[in-house]
């Protein structure tokens, strides 16, 4: 299974590399306010958009990741506390003493 994953990764890498090599032509990039950057290789534009998309995706998922890590840490602490409590020997509780044995009731 591990070899199959590596072969699949290699195939995807080769396809992406060939795609990049075929798309090196110059393009014009239009920004807001009629700002234009001319003759930028298409692969540079695609790489920049990919990186921006990855960063945006990480920023979107960051709060969820942080929340899950905090919850996992809290659960680990609770588990450690419960394991420590389970390791301690159980001390038998003293039997409840009836009040009559401490101070006998006075006869009527």
Reported as half-sphere exposure (CB side, CA atoms, 13 A), residue 107 has a value of 0
The confidence score (pLDDT) of residue 32 equals 85
Q: What is the pLDDT of residues 20-77, one digit of tens each?
A: 888 888 988 888 888 888 888 888 888 888 889 999 999 999 999 999 999 999 999 9
Angstrom distance (rounded) from CA 60 to CA 69? 16
pTM, two decimal places: 0.56
CA dihedral 77, 81, 86, 90 (to 10 degrees): 180
3-class state of residue 89 by DSSP: coil
């Amino acid at each position: 299974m591990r070899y199959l994953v590596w072969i699949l990764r290699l195939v995807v890498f080769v396809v992406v590399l060939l795609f990049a090599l075929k798309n090196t032509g110059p393009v014009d990039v239009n920004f807001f306010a009629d700002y234009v950057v001319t003759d930028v290789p298409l692969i540079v534009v695609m790489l920049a958009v990919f990186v921006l998309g990855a960063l945006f995706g990480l920023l979107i998922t960051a709060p969820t990741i942080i929340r899950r890590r905090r919850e996992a840490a809290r659960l680990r602490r609770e588990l450690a506390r419960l394991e420590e409590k389970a390791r301690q020997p159980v001390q038998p509780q003293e039997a409840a003493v009836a009040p009559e044995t401490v101070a006998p009731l006075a006869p009527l």
